[in-house]
């Protein structure tokens, strides 16, 4: 009984300390000390050579966020010391703030960047006297629950541009999210420049979800390089998605010979699965993609092909392919397509990610990661795990941020009566994962997705992402037993002024003070996967 009481008291003390310093996600262990550290607007920093690039990032961060200039100094004169500790796990860190200075320990650059995220939040909440910051004395030891802490942005349906993407990456780093899944191709538009096939953007980049004649918008290869470098500096891996064999309308508009057809609602929805020119074309595209993105992963989509593949039933070449290869259905043709493209990715030393529809495609387990997104089909998750694939959990409920946050919101999405409030995001992937047993080891992590059918402007993007991105970070970093929603909301209230100061049009879950941005529909398009 005494031991249990001590545990409860210790837990409550940790929660209270975390609320005081307002760090999201909550550190694994945080101990407050006596006194404070006074840091003026100019101080010395030193560190082991392995962290040189991180120290450069630190200098830029401190100057841009707090107006503090730092300089390289001898250890005896430094107010901040960064040290290598090989005993710490990947992405783990220790942060010590004493009365005389700051010490950071990490085994690699990723841990260092995570420590800087916590330090940034400490500085943000610190009391100021003149140009000096008064930091609390504390000791943090921290590591993440999951190695994959992801956020996906769909820019095919609506395009937001380089500066907004950088802003999102800043906030991801602030909350220790480390995977940016970038959905760049789909029905409305193709947003990634491919040198060998310029019409992909010059023709395929025209339009958006609500306006098929919107001016062309896309990312040049120079833009991509800049964004990938920016993300890497913040410990964020950028994973591109080139959707296939469905959701291919924009590419087919640019190069009609690629089209495998579709239906009245979704014309030219699929790539043609029975032409070698299709596979040659897409292999060329993926080679350029792999050159642009250092990530080992390329997301190939593989979802919802059935919304357009009925055209294959009347295609002579597809029927010949079925007979030649021994494929009994259009579903098997889909899987054949993905296997061929997976071989192309393997040939450029890459691995693929696909949506859960591809669980039966006989893809190599060591070269494939599955994303479970269909919350209404838990059997797909069980099948993924039973077949031995690694998986990222991203179910519509509660991980789709295009779903509304409150029942009375009317411009976003619902699933029947289901929607995605802050608390549901916060509670996701907690103790319920224990029921997976040993299969839990196959779960790489979790991810939230922002599909942009209703996201027509930056204000609406911010309204759907903030503050749910903070709840996502908590769910991805903190094991279920360590979470407390009431304490989280106390901390979150201290973050809302940061959103306001940065000009974000965020949703306030406490006062609902910002009105939901309206969506003026130019068409009556519906979500492709709406429940019947």
356 catalytically annotated:
no
Tally Cβ neighbours within 10 Å of residue 275.
Answer: 17
The number of angstroms, rounded, from the C-alpha of 274 to the middle of its chain's C-alpha atoms is 34
The number of angstroms, rounded, from the C-alpha of 236 to the middle of its chain's C-alpha atoms is 9
Q: Which helix (H) or strand (E) holds 71?
A: strand 69-72
304 catalytically annotated:
yes
237 catalytically annotated:
no
The residue whose two tokens read 């039973």 is: 386
Task: Determine phi and psi for 227, rounding to 5 degrees.
Answer: -70, -40
Cα distance between residue 357 and residue 354, in whole Å: 8
Tally Cβ neighbours within 10 Å of residue 133.
Answer: 20
Rg (CA), the chain: 24
> Which residue from 361, 314, 356 is spatially nearest to 333, judged by alpha carbons?
361
Q: Which two tokens stand for residue 145?
A: 């629950």
186 DSSP 8-state letter: S
Cα distance between residue 362 and residue 368, in whole Å: 10
The residue whose two tokens read 């402007």 is: 457
Q: In this structure, is the dihedral angle defined by the CA atoms of residues 496, 501, 506 and 510, taken in order, positive or negative?
A: positive
- Cα separation of the two ends of the chain: 53
Query: CA 531 → CA 21, 374, 415, distances in Å?
Result: 43, 11, 7
The residue whose two tokens read 């009375």 is: 408
Q: Which two tokens stand for residue 528?
A: 């492709």
Annotated catalytic residue within 158, 181, 247, 495: 247
The dihedral region occupied by 35, where left means phi > 0, alpha psi between -120 and 50, and beta the remainder, is: left
The residue whose two tokens read 């080992």 is: 296
Q: Identify the bridge partners of residue 239 per DSSP, sorted by sequence position.
A: 181
Query: CA 496 → CA 275, 408, 418, 511, distances in Å?
Result: 53, 22, 26, 11
Annotated catalytic residue within 304, 315, 332, 343: 304
3-state secondary structure of 138: strand
Tally Cβ neighbours within 10 Å of residue 30.
Answer: 22
Q: Describe the crossing of helices 109-125 and 52-66 by its angle, rounded to 10 degrees.
A: 20
The residue whose two tokens read 């999951």 is: 146
CA atoms within 13 A on the CB side of 29: 9
Cα distance between residue 290 and residue 229, in whole Å: 15
- Pair 478, 26: CB distance under 8 Å: yes
Annotated catalytic residue within 142, 154, 155, 186: 186
CA atoms within 13 A on the CB side of 250: 34
Pairing between strand 297-301 and 148-154? unpaired
Active-site positions read 186, 247, 304
């Amino acid at each position: 009984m005494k031991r249990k009481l001590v545990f409860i008291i210790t837990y409550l003390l940790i929660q209270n300390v975390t609320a005081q310093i307002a760090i999201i996600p909550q550190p694994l262990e945080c101990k407050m000390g006596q006194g404070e550290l006074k840091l003026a607007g100019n101080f010395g920093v030193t560190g082991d050579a392995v962290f040189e690039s991180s120290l450069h990032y630190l200098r830029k961060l401190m100057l841009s966020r707090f107006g503090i200039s730092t300089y390289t100094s001898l250890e005896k004169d430094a107010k901040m010391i960064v040290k290598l500790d090989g005993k710490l796990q990947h992405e783990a860190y220790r942060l010590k703030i004493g009365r005389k200075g700051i010490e950071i320990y990490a085994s690699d650059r990723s841990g260092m960047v995570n420590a800087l995220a916590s330090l940034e939040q400490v500085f943000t909440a610190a009391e100021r006297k003149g140009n000096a910051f008064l930091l609390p004395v504390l000791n943090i030891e921290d590591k993440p629950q999951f190695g994959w802490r992801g956020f996906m942005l769909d820019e095919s349906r609506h395009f937001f541009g380089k500066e907004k993407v950088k802003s999102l990456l800043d906030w991801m780093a602030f909350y220790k999210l480390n995977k940016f899944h970038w959905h760049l191709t789909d029905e409305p538009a193709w947003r990634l420049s491919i040198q060998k096939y310029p019409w992909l953007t010059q023709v395929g980049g025209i339009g958006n979800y609500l306006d098929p004649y919107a001016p062309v918008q896309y990312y040049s290869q120079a833009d991509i390089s800049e964004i990938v470098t920016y993300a890497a500096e913040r410990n964020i891996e950028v994973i591109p998605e080139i959707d296939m064999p469905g959701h291919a309308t924009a590419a087919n508009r640019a190069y009609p010979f690629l089209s495998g057809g579709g239906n009245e609602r979704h014309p030219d929805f699929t790539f043609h699965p029975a032409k070698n020119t299709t596979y040659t074309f897409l292999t060329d595209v993926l080679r350029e993609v792999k050159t642009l993105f250092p990530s080992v992963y390329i997301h190939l989509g593989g979802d919802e092909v059935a919304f357009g593949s009925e055209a294959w039933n009347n295609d002579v070449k597809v029927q010949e392919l079925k007979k030649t290869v021994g494929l009994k259905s259009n579903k098997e043709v889909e899987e054949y397509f993905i296997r061929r493209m997976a071989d192309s990715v393997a040939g450029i030393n890459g691995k693929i990610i696909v949506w859960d529809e591809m669980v039966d495609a006989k893809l190599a387990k060591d070269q494939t990661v599955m994303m479970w997104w269909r919350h209404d089909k838990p059997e797909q998750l069980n099948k993924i795990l039973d077949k031995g694939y690694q998986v990222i959990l991203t179910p519509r409920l509660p991980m789709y941020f295009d779903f509304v946050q409150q029942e009375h919101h009317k411009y976003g999405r619902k699933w029947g009566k289901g929607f995605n409030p802050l608390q549901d995001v916060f509670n996701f992937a907690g103790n319920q994962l224990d029921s997976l047993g040993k299969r839990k080891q196959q779960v790489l992590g979790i991810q939230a997705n922002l599909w942009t059918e209703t996201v027509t402007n930056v204000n609406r993007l911010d309204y759907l992402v903030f503050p749910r991105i903070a709840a996502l970070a908590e769910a991805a970093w903190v094991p279920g037993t360590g979470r407390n929603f009431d304490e989280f909301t106390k901390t979150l209230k201290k973050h809302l002024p940061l959103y306001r100061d940065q000009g974000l049009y965020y949703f306030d879950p406490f006062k609902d003070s910002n009105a939901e941005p309206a969506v003026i529909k130019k068409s009556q398009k519906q979500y492709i996967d709406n429940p019947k």
